[in-house]
Amino acid sequence: MKRRKVVITGMGALTPIGKGVKNFWQNLINGKSGVSSITLFNPEGWETRIAGEVNDFDPLDYMDKQEARRNDRFTQFILAASEEAVKDSGLVLEKIDKYRAGLIIGSGIGGLQTLMDQHEILLSKGPKRVSPFLIPNMIVNMASGLVSIKYNLRGPNMCVVSACASANHSIGEAFRYIERGDADIMLCGGTEAPIVPLGIAGFINMKALSTRNDKPEKASRPFDKDRDGFVISEGAATIVLESEDNALARGARIYASLVGYGVTADAFHIAAPLPSGESAQKCMENALIDAGLSVNEIDYINAHGTSTPVGDRAEVNAIKNLFKDNAYKLKISSNKSMIGHLLGAAGGAETIATILTINDGIIPPTINLDNTEFDLDFVPHKSINSEVNAALNNSFGFGGHNASLVITKYEKK
């Protein structure tokens, strides 16, 4: 079977450093941190009191009051990001074959606020007062369901739930649908709204979160010796993928090409990565093989880089073991140093960053990298100008879920 070429034609994002792709990208290359004290609830006395929140988000900018009231924050986010992505793509929805257009949108947790609110109602007021919208608002697949309904997209429609790898898996699986001819257009990405008391308490008790409450903007420190855990964040990102032929036929602007997708499992632990990085290495290798590229053709890696000692070390091991001497020629950076960890939405935001790195020839920095224990080039503190023709984007999730994407400059037919 001949593989069809897949291109990126639209992007939309909500992140802790900006609503909209333009704001997100500008703040990213400027090295701005989006980590601050939690305002979505009162965390006084909590071990961790910081997070990456999407500030000044008003769902009424994207939907009416009834829809906003019914939807959990994680679905509000994806509706907003998808609106931007569809507009950015220039798609005229009335002219497309709705059965050839679909979506795959991931989330690690889904409607956690809805679950917590309705559980409190159950305990205080009894079962008859639990909302009939509990299940539809809570389930993870409602993110893709609502976007499908909004745009009347009747092709493939599903979600991926693979913790922090959810968005990368969603993008990769959407890529496969187009590549093998099952769809012409796919919306994909991820969304997450985990900054609620139950979610934060769970991560605190796992000893996963940074407790650098006095200096929030310094808390996310990928690859730095002084890191003490990741910073939990919220947000969403949507990407429009199309077959090259479909995009050219409608005269679409093409940002980049998606050319490779790799997946593996650590098969090791429910939360910790395989220390050797062996499975992450194989994941990247699979993506390169899928793309038909060698290690010396990759210019940049958008690292998973969570700011946890075990995670950072495993990823560095994987990069060194795969790229060998070429590892020291690579530019590598972690967007999480600025946006924190968007969990199931992380790969979506970081894929957009990778696309724009290729487009603009600017590599975002890894901020807070004051005292690294590794000898690779993580682009510390400030962004740099550098031509990037091919890049890898890594996402590795709890449960040992690994996903890598290869993105390249688009070459016109």
Which residues belong to the active site?
Answer: 164, 304, 341
Mind spelling out the 3-state secondary structure of 136-186?
Answer: HHHCCCHHHHHHHHHHCCCCCEECCCCHHHHHHHHHHHHHHHHHCCCCCEE
Residue type, 289: I
Alpha-carbon distance of 397 to 352, in angstroms, equals 19
Q: For residue 119, give every residue at least 6 positions away whose Cβ sits within 8 Å of its Cβ, in sequence order, or none.
A: none
Alpha-carbon distance of 146 to 239, in angstroms, equals 16
Tokens linked to 400: 């040992």
DSSP string, 78-106: HHHHHHHHHHHHT--GGGS-GGGEEEEEE
- Is 374:380 a contact under the CB 8 Å cutoff? no
Residue type, 300: Y
Q: For residue 221, give every residue at least 6 positions away whose Cβ sits within 8 Å of its Cβ, in sequence order, or none.
A: 210, 227, 228, 307, 337, 368, 369, 370
